[in-house]
C-alpha cells in the first residue's frame, strides 16, 4: 500500500498542474510584444498556456460578433468591449483598462523626425497610419493631423495599414518615409527618429480587456485576466511605454 501510494504521488507530480488549460486571446496589434511576454510569465506562474491571435481591434470585434471562439479580448479601445458587453458577447462586469496607449510619429531614418513633428510640413512622399475604420491608433493619427491643421494637405500622401502592425511595417521597410505608430512598437528601437505626440492632440487610447462568453466558465481565462492586473504583468506593460493605473 505504501509503494502504491508513493507511485500515485509521483505520477500526480509529474503530470503537472491538474487544472492547466489553454486560453484563447484576441490581442490588438499594438500590444503584440507585451502580450507575448505576459503569456510566458502567466504560463510559468499558473501552468496555463495562452493561444494568441494578433490583429486590428475592429476586425476582432466583427469576428467575435460572428461567433469566433475567443475567450478574452484585449482591445485597443474602450468602445468595442463596451459594445460587446451590451450586445451579450462579453461578460458583464469584467471590463477594465489594462493599458493607456501613446501615439508616436516615427521614421526608420535617424534625424528625419524632429522633436516637435515639424517634419509633417516638410517633403516626403508617403506617411503611414493604421486604418481608422478598424484601428484606434489610426483614429488618433487622423485626430492629430486635424489638430495640427494638416489633414487635408497630407491626406493624398497617407497609406493605410489594416492594423498598426502593418503601418509599422510600411515605415520600417521604407515603403513610407514616416508614419504614426504605437509607442510600444518603437520604445526599444535603437535607431530611427521619433516624436511622441502630445496626449492633448487625440482622444485618450484607453485599452480595455473583457472576458468573452466562451470563456465565462473557464478558470484559465479568468486567471489570465487576474494575472493581467498583477504587479508582474503591469511591470511588463509599463516597460513597453504604456501607462497603467
Q: Given a cut of 50, is residue 9 above it in pLDDT?
A: no
Q: Picking from 9-13, 133-137, 140-144, 196-200, which range would have the lowest pLDDT averaged per residue?
A: 9-13
All domains of the chain, ordered by start, with CATH?
20-100+205-239 (3.40.190.10), 103-196 (3.40.190.10)
pTM: 0.89
**pLDDT of the residue at 245:** 85
SS3 content of the chain, % helix, strand, coil (to 5): 45, 20, 35
- How large is the average pLDDT for residues 123-145? 97
Q: How many residues does the chain have?
A: 245
Angle at 201 (CA atoms; ends 198, 207), nearest 5 degrees:
85
Residue 5 has pLDDT above 50, yes or no: no
What pLDDT, on a 0 to 100 scale, did the predictor assign at position 20?
A: 80
55-113, pLDDT tens digit by residue?
999 999 999 999 999 999 999 999 999 999 999 999 999 999 999 999 999 999 999 99
Sorting pLDDT into bands at 50, 70 and 90, what band is 19? low
Nine cell digits for residue 32: 503584440
Is it the case that residue 3 has pLDDT exceeding 60?
Answer: no
Percent of the chain with pLDDT over 70: 92
In angstroms, the first-to-last Cα distance of the chain is: 54
Q: Which residues contact 213 (CB under 8 A, 6 or more apart)?
A: 88, 89, 90, 91
- Residue 17 is placed in which grid cell? 498542474
Q: In which residue are the cell numbers 494638416 written?
A: 150
Name the residue with higher pLDDT: 10 or 209: 209
Amino acid at each position: 500500500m505504501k509503494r502504491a501510494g508513493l507511485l500515485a504521488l509521483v505520477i500526480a507530480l509529474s503530470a503537472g498542474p491538474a487544472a492547466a488549460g489553454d486560453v484563447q486571446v484576441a490581442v490588438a496589434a499594438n500590444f503584440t510584444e507585451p502580450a507575448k511576454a505576459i503569456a510566458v510569465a502567466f504560463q510559468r506562474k499558473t501552468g496555463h498556456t495562452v493561444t494568441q491571435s494578433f490583429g486590428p481591434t475592429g476586425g476582432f470585434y466583427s469576428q467575435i460578433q460572428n461567433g469566433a471562439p475567443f475567450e478574452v479580448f484585449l482591445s485597443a479601445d474602450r468602445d468595442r468591449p463596451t459594445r460587446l458587453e451590451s450586445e451579450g458577447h462579453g461578460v458583464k462586469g469584467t471590463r477594465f483598462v489594462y493599458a493607456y496607449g501613446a501615439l508616436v510619429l516615427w521614421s526608420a531614418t535617424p534625424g528625419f523626425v524632429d522633436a516637435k513633428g515639424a517634419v509633417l510640413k516638410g517633403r516626403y512622399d508617403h506617411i503611414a497610419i493604421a486604418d481608422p475604420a478598424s484601428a484606434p491608433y489610426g483614429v488618433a493619427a487622423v485626430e492629430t493631423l486635424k489638430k495640427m491643421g494638416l489633414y487635408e494637405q497630407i491626406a493624398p500622401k497617407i497609406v493605410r495599414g489594416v492594423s498598426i502592425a502593418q503601418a509599422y511595417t510600411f515605415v520600417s521597410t521604407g515603403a513610407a518615409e514616416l508614419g504614426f505608430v504605437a509607442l510600444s512598437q518603437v520604445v526599444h528601437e535603437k535607431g530611427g527618429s521619433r516624436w511622441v505626440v502630445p496626449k492633448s492632440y487625440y482622444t485618450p487610447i484607453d485599452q480595455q480587456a473583457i472576458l468573452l462568453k466562451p470563456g465565462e466558465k473557464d478558470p484559465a481565462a479568468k486567471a489570465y485576466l487576474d494575472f493581467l492586473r498583477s504587479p508582474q504583468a503591469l511591470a511588463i506593460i509599463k516597460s513597453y511605454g504604456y501607462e497603467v493605473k
